Structure 1
């Protein structure tokens, strides 16, 4: 039963921002359970290294693509190439993200716009492009990566990135609304809201505030890779076939 619930054999997953960090961890988990993998980001070198490692380690097909998710043209090209290479996309993980740390009163408009363009507009554009294909097939699992920062407001001494927090709250509502709109097409749309995990994006915040973050966490720890991989596998496979429109916090209880 366990294998049937989580087995991804015969599925193809596209993971944005899949060359490093949480995106790579999710791509690796999907590959371990049998999925073919397409990874994309602006830094195609990281994606290529990830794709090569996945193919060598898990024996599945993996491809890397260069894509700026704030560009509709690049998204269209990436999705078309992935469909040519794999024939279909069953699972989409919208993981590409941007952040900008600054006091609100000093936040440049360009910084605010950059964060929202990547985190919100990019999630919309990629979901639209892949979703059209999924609707034709009558099946698809979309997993958006939100954040606990979009659920609760952190004090400025812990996280001072209002554009990021606002964008992730928008991603959470986008997830719910899209799930409602596409449920009749056989598509599932859910989100994961990670707490503090050690990634390239969070390393500076954690370096300055690790003790405070751990102290304030009910489970007294930071996030670990397996915790995120487990939830992603659940949302990607048959185990979640009666789950849509949900935002699952993976945060050790910090959003309670």
Structure 2
């Protein structure tokens, strides 16, 4: 089953609109946090799934969880998206294993801490751009081309509110995520009308990255700066991911959806 630009919800139930049966969904950074939650949600919706990240053991653990809890096929693939050729290899592995792919989620990302902008090294800057921007660019190109040739699909990028309201603590990261917004629109045009390309823009989520936060300071700030007065939980990305992956969003492409608890409301 493929997802194309043709669609419409007339006569279909919510369950039918969000059904992913017969599809294959690839999630980079899929072994933990929001990536893991998207993998599990796609499998529960009927998709076979591919979990890709740098640590194969973690991917295998999620693949085992998918098989045991949903009965769907699950493939674990070691992949560092910051390397151009590993995105190509991931695509080839998916098509060799399944013969098709309808959903790609460019979720892998990182934002290392640094003492000051002056002290950001060239290697750190390059690493942030490679993982957060170069990888999604290449993955979108290779998977998008195959999806287009097959008749349709959905690419979901994951950015951050840092793309529109970057702080000095995440400048390179914010620049890369702003780039994600740009390539979302570019690829939406490149592979139209068959492949839809959209972006989820999360705010502060309480995933592994939050373990480095001063939570007392964060909670105090959340009371004043976040409309919902808290950080997001990893599974709260699921609704947006299922929407973009499924026929529920059949007339949506080139869009950026904030799921930030109201974090970015002050910046528009």
Shift of 1:214: 1.5
Matched with 1:127 is: 140
Distance 1:122 1:195, change over 3 A: same
Shift of 1:206: 5.3
Task: Give the secondary-structure state (helix, strand or coil) at the position aligned to 1:190.
Answer: strand
TM-score, length-normalised on structure 2? 0.90
2:31 counterpart residue number: 19
- Residue 228 of structure 2: aligned partner: 219
- List per-residue Cα deviations over 1:95-151 (Å, max 9, x = no partner): 111212222111111101100011100001111111121011120100001001112
Aligned to 2:80, the other structure's residue is in SS state: coil
Task: Check 1:34–1:71 CA distance in 2 against 1; reply closer, same or farther (3 A cut).
Answer: same
Q: Distance in 2 between matches of 1:206 and 1:47?
A: 29
CA distance in 1, matches of 2:137, 2:157: 10
2:47 maps to which residue?
A: 35
> Contact (CA 8 Å) 1:198, 1:206: kept in 2 or not?
no
The corresponding residue for 1:198 is 206
Q: 1:83 to 1:213 in 2, by over 3 A?
A: farther
Mark the runs of 5 or more structure 1 residues left unpaired by the alignment: none
Asked if 1:189 is matched to 2:226, the reply is no
Match of residue 240, structure 2, among 207, 231, 234: 231
Q: Which residue of 1 aligns with 2:155?
A: 142
**Unaligned runs of at least 5 residues, structure 2:** 1-12
Q: Structure 1 210/131 Cα, relative in aligned 2: closer, same or farther at 3 Å?
A: same
TM-score by length of 1: 0.94
Cα RMSD (Å): 1.3
Question: After superposition, what is the alpha-carbon deviation per residue over 1:31-58, rounded to whole angstroms, capped at 9, x for unaligned?
Answer: 1111100111111111000001001101
Contact kept in structure 2, 1:100 and 1:163, CA below 8 Å: no
Count of paired positions: 251
Q: Is the 8 A contact 2:227 2:261 kept in 1?
A: yes
